[in-house]
Structures are given as C-alpha cells and as structure tokens.
Amino acid sequence: MLQMLFGLALVIGLLLLGAYLLRRLNGGRAFGNTGPLRIVGGLILSPRERIVLIEVGETWLVVGIVPGQIKTLHTLPKGELPASKDTENRFGLWLKHAVERKNDSI
C-alpha cells in the first residue's frame, strides 16, 4: 500500500513539475489568446491547409496558411460574424427533442 501511495505522489509531483517548467519556458504568460492578436475563427481546407480569421485591434485579417507560407488574403474592419441559418445548432435541437421523447415514454 505504501509503495502505491509513493508512486502516486511521484506521478503528481512530476505533473506539477512539468506545469511549472512550461510556465517558466513560456515567460510566465498563460496559454491562449493573450495580447493584441485574437483568433476569431477558422476553416480547415485540408490536413495541411487552412484559412484563419485573426483580429488585430480594430481590423480583421483573413489569412491563408499552408506548409512553409502564411499569406494575408483579405483585410476588413472589425465586425460581427453573421449567424448562419444552416448551422442553427440542429444537433442541439435534435438532442433536445430526443430527450423529451424519451422522458415522455418513461
């Protein structure tokens, strides 16, 4: 039993050490969108190609990313993304109806 507890403490200690080292190597900054840049959205075209919408201040940049190259495709003023009528959370509505039907039958 003591051997198992020692192994668990060792694994937890290694995880904490790894988190500490990652924080030190990252300059104390948190991971994610910290700073003047923010990724608004993106579209994966293939395993190696994607299009990303990046917010820089009051400007949005549409950027194409391929292996070995990043290219600005379009620049536009910051705005709101329109809600697509095709993606009105159809799965969420279907799931809600399925759960309601299941609850009614019980």
Residues 44, 49: Cα–Cα separation, whole Å? 6
**Host H or E run for residue 4:** helix 2-25
Residues 9-66: tens digit of each pLDDT = 999 999 999 988 887 776 555 555 567 888 888 888 888 899 998 888 888 899 999 9
Q: Locate 4 and state its tokens.
A: 């198992």
Residues 100, 106: Cα–Cα separation, whole Å? 10
Q: In this predicted structure, what is the pLDDT of residue 95?
A: 72
For residue 6, pLDDT over 90 is answered with yes
pLDDT tier at 81 (50, 70, 90 boundaries)?
A: low
pTM of the predicted protein model: 0.48
Q: Locate 68 and state its tokens.
A: 């070995």
Q: In this predicted structure, what is the pLDDT of residue 13?
A: 95
